[in-house]
Structure 1
Amino acid sequence: MNTKTDIRQFLSSAQWFEDIPESLLDRLVNAASIKHFESGSHIWRVGDKTSTLYGLVHGRIRLYQASEGGQEYALTDWEDGAWFGEQTLAVDEPNMLGVKVLEPSELLVLPSKSVQQIVQDWPVFYEKLFKCSWHNTRGLYEIISSIVFYPLKARVAGRVLELIEEHGNRTDEGFLLNVRLSQNDFASLSMGSRQRVNAIFREWARQGLIDYRDDYLLIKKPQALAKEMTPFD
């Protein structure tokens, strides 16, 4: 994405800016820029202050929490079309969550002050923003509920089943994920230790529930994995 036309199309397709008047869209386009992030880099870390809105044009990034010891716990992964950074429109506080880049990513960048000035003439923006933010918040509540009420094996199974919906390609053997995730990734996504997640995957492999094809996870029996999603007694 290099031209103003591309930027304009991406902005107009975003839920945040849907149906924005053309004159205000022009101002957003002029305020926007494109930035590239390499895999393993951070858009911001826990505790950083930011003053920017981001739209993920292409790539994959992760919202995470980090312990004082540096251990990271993934909350959710975002892909093409995701928008984030809206907290900078309301507060000037350090971020409680971090955002890191999982794959080389291209992001559209908008200074928060520019957006605040532009949407003064289009206050319906905040209604749209509220609805989108609530959707994200609801997802975080679901993750917190799973941590509180479900054991690790159930959480890992839930994450795998979610990935089938988002990245599963049906094959004769089952569903092959089209993203490469390590067991460290699954440990982070399920709020568990790598050792315990490794043990869970070994057990599932012995039972014939999962396998690997060139480092990509193959889920052979998703219905059996669904049965693993039982809460604490």
Structure 2
Amino acid sequence: MEKQHIEMMFKRNAWFTQLPEDVIHSLVSMSKTKHLAKHQQLHAKGDEADGLYCVLDGKIRVSNVNMHGKEMVLTWLESGSWFGEISLFDGLPRTHDAHAEQDTQLLMLPNTTFQKLLRKQPELYPHFMRLLCQRIRATFALIDETGGLSLSGQLAKRLLLLASGLVNGLPDDKADNGNPIIKVSQESLAQMINSSRQTVNKLLNELKKQGVIHNQYGGIEILDVNALKKLSEI
């Protein structure tokens, strides 16, 4: 993959847009690419951290297994999404499982290289602290999502979270009229809220009838953010 395309991945992500140009060049030159086949595991919960990752192409499923042995999908990370930063800072094992949902190309900044960069340029710490804070906010939002909300409330909360870019740091896509567009399948949403695709389809149709969303090919357009916020509280 061309270096120019890789640099665009850095600049596309909200976490890295404020980094100096020379730092972005350094990060790109220090990184390497990694390919995962469909369903291949990148890392398991408890694994030692080996680096910071960016999805160049494909999709990564981030999940955990609950006490009943059922996989709980936390989110999906697509092109432009960065992940794996928590373990790089606290030195502790990975907090989740990560699998390739399809053939996936990753950019990897090795842990040793990352630490060397921070020692050389300690002024970069605030940038990466913002990255961590972004992840913490997303975690709290996910906790709120499961705190007694109805399925419709959980779905509304999840749609807002995905549209905000809190999960992956990406700016939301926009329709010509400026409305946020979320690129996610019904199957993915179902796994995120521990429901069935049929139930999610029914809930989305209700939101469509209420004029809150509009289903389009490969995504969901948010027509009324305020209505979605109200629904996310019940």
> Structure 1-normalised TM-score?
0.70
- CA distance 1:134–1:164, change in 2 (3 Å): closer
Aligned to 2:158: 159
- 1:187 and 2:186 correspond: no
Q: 1:204 to 1:13 in 2, by over 3 A?
A: closer
- The match for 2:44 is 45
1-structure distance, mates of 2:83, 2:46: 16
Task: Specify every segment of 5 or more residues in structure 2 that has no aligned partner in the other structure, as ranges.
Answer: 165-171
Counterpart for residue 91 of structure 1? 90
Partner residue in 1 for 2:20:
19
Q: How many residues align?
A: 220
The DSSP-based 3-state class of the residue aligned with 1:148 is: coil
Tell me, yes or no, if structure 1 residue 201 matches structure 2 residue 201: yes
Is the Cα contact below 8 Å between 2:175 and 2:221 reproduced in 1?
no
> Contact 1:54/1:110 (CA < 8 Å) preserved in 2?
yes
Q: Which residue of the partner structure matches residue 122 of structure 1?
A: 121
Matches within 5 A, 1:167-186: 179-182=184-187, 185-186=188-189
Letter in 2 for 1:119: L
Distance 1:19 1:37, change over 3 A: same
3-state SS in 2 of match to 1:108: strand
Whole-angstrom distance in 2 between the partners of 1:51 and 1:205: 43
Please tell me whether Structure 1 or Structure 2 has the larger radius of gyration of its CA atoms: 1
**1:39–1:103 Cα contact (<8 Å) kept:** yes
Structure 1 residues 7 and 167: alpha-carbon distance in aligned structure 2, compared to 1, 3 A threshold:
closer
1:58-73 → structure 2 map (5 Å cutoff): 58-73=57-72
The aligned counterpart of 2:167 is none
Report the identity percentage: 20
Q: TM-score, normalised by structure 2?
A: 0.70
Q: Residue type matched to 2:72 in 1?
A: Y
After TM superposition, the structure 1 stretch with the greater mean CA deviation from structure 2, 123-132 or 12-21, is 12-21
- Alignment RMSD: 4.0
The amino acid across from 2:19 in the alignment is E
2:128 counterpart of 1:107? no
Ranges in structure 1 where 5+ consecutive residues have no aligned partner: none
Distance 1:122 1:156, change over 3 A: same
Change (3 A) 1:69 1:94: farther
